Amino acid sequence: MRIWFWFIVLAFFISCKSNQVIADTPVTEPTRSDIEGFPQSWKGTYTGTLNIFQPGSLTPSQSVPMDLYIDQIDVDSTKFEWNITYGEDKVKGLRQYQLITKDRDKGIFAIDERNSIVLDAHFIHGKLFSRFSVMGNLISATYEKQGDIIIFEIHSGKEKVSGYTGGQEDTPNVGLYPSAVYQKARLSKVERN
């Protein structure tokens, strides 16, 4: 009995200490100027590595170089170059997209892939979100600027429901969608050649 008492006391102190560490970790919140300055304040060239992860893995299954180039097309334009390059081959890997401002005050944008595909995008709390489905997969893309770094993330999985839960008594029926791939790039701002 005495051992259990000391074990519980020790567990209590450990949990108090770990909560303090979490509380002391600074959280960077976007400022009004961060939000009002988008997309102009994001202009520049960013480069890094895109890491691709599978479920259950801490190490990437694949890593490829990635660049993101953002620039206003002209002074009066609501369109921005939003060019993404994947891989070593800067020609074959180039995706020449455009970010189009639809309603800046409401955070409504679009990413025009310039091939008849135009994706909705929403700027919420300092992040640009885009969700869509393609070839049977649900995809969620996020861009977040932190100083001179842009964090790019993709989360994807099958569009088909893998099962349901809930739906009894007063609970709603909830569809389940499996997660298959997570991609993340930390892109640092660089001077463009």
* Residue 66 · residue 93 · CB < 8 Å: no
Percent of the chain with pLDDT over 90: 75
Which range of residues forms the domain containing residue 143? 31-190
Per-residue pLDDT averaged across 31-47, rounded? 86
Task: Specify if 174 maps to a domain.
Answer: yes
The two three-digit tokens of residue 117, written as one number = 């595909």
Task: Specify if 97 maps to a domain.
Answer: yes
Distances in Å between the Cα of 51 and the Cα atoms of 39, 48, 117 are 25, 10, 25
Residue 22 reports pLDDT greater than 80 = no
Task: Specify if 38 maps to a domain.
Answer: yes
Q: Please give the pLDDT value at position 12.
A: 42
Whether residue 39 is preceded by a cis peptide bond, meaning omega within 30 degrees of 0, is: yes
Residue 33 reports pLDDT greater than 90 = no
Residue 86 reports pLDDT greater than 90 = yes
Task: Specify if 15 maps to a domain.
Answer: no
Task: Specify if 11 maps to a domain.
Answer: no
Task: Specify if 18 maps to a domain.
Answer: no
The CATH number of the domain holding residue 36 is: 2.40.128.20
Mean pLDDT, the chain, rounded, equals: 87
Given pLDDT bands bounded at 50, 70 and 90, which one contains residue 193? low
Task: Specify if 23 maps to a domain.
Answer: no
- For the chain, the domain total comes to 1
What's the whole-model pTM score?
0.81
Task: Specify if 119 maps to a domain.
Answer: yes
Given pLDDT bands bounded at 50, 70 and 90, which one contains residue 140? very high
Per-residue pLDDT averaged across 36-60, rounded? 94
